[in-house]
Amino acid sequence: PTLVPNAPTTFSLQHSRFQLLVVTSTMARLTSLLLVSALGASAAFTPASKAPLAIRSTELKESFGFDFAEDQAENVPTVMLGEANYKQWVGENIDNSFLNRQYDVIKRVRELDLLGLTAEYGILSKLEKNGVDLATLESLLPAIEELGLLSTAGKNQQLLINGLAPLAVEGAPLLLPVIAGALEVGPPAFFLAAAAFAGAEGGLISNHVEIPFVGLPASVLVGLLLVPLTVVSGGAGVVLSGLKK
């Protein structure tokens, strides 16, 4: 007789195989997930490798470090490299160079005949009339030394010779007659001049005057001249008031 398979038994066997396949697939996914998590955690706590730090050179070059620029060591003699060496070389090899040129005070005083103008306007006699004589000047020398003015002047020779001396010497032909007239009047003339300079500066500030075509405040630029003139004029008036006999 032909055997007929039992239907319930076959269904139970297929169901068991399906459950085994599901369990195996789930375990495989969990294993993969755990493996990825472990790799990520190990990578997170692994110290990063330190790349070597590039050390920048602090060497100064006139070529600015560009390869296409000229090398000064090849084109310039060694004795001229550096500012100090260059100035020394120019001073030794080039006469009357602009780099090391100094304002010749004595020559310009002689050319402008400032001593003759001083005598012509009677500056010395008018100073003596206001109490400024040789004895007074000698008495001021210790005070000048105590204030350190002589040492300061010695340390700033270049500034005095090339900066202030040209202004004083070149402007002396115009200033001497004005100074002579002020000395003739006495201390009030200097106080009046100080008040005029201060008033001009105050007017520029209060009216917000600007220099045309530039837009800069005139009180700043013109003040570089007006403020020192105010101080010098007022100081001269105070000194003459104390010295006048």
Q: What is the pLDDT of residue 15?
A: 52
For the chain, the first-to-last Cα distance in angstroms comes to 164
Q: How much is the pLDDT for 192?
A: 94
Structure token pair of residue 2? 């032909």
- pLDDT averages per 10-residue partition of the chain, 245 residues: 47 53 59 59 51 54 64 70 77 72 86 92 90 82 83 82 86 92 92 93 90 82 89 90 75
Neighbouring-strand partners of residue 210 = 217
Predicted pLDDT of residue 101: 72
| pTM of the predicted model over 0.75 | no
Per-residue model confidence (pLDDT) at position 219: 85
CA of residue 83 relative to chain centroid, distance: 19
Query: In terms of Cα–Cα distance, which of 240, 105, 227 is closest to 172?
Result: 105
Question: Tokens 């070059």 label which residue?
Answer: 61
Give the per-residue pLDDT at 2: 44
Beta pairing partners, 217: 210
What local confidence, expressed as pLDDT, does residue 178 receive? 92
CA distances from 66 to 55, 59, 138 (A): 18, 13, 62
DSSP states along 139-157: HHHHHHHHTTHHHHHHHTH
Predicted local distance difference test score (pLDDT) of residue 182: 92
- Burial (0-12, 13-18, 19+ Cβ within 10 Å), 239: middle
Taking CA atoms, 37 is separated from 26, 28, 34, 41, in Å, by 17, 14, 5, 6
pLDDT in tens, 18-70: 555 555 566 656 566 556 565 555 555 555 554 555 555 555 555 666 666 66
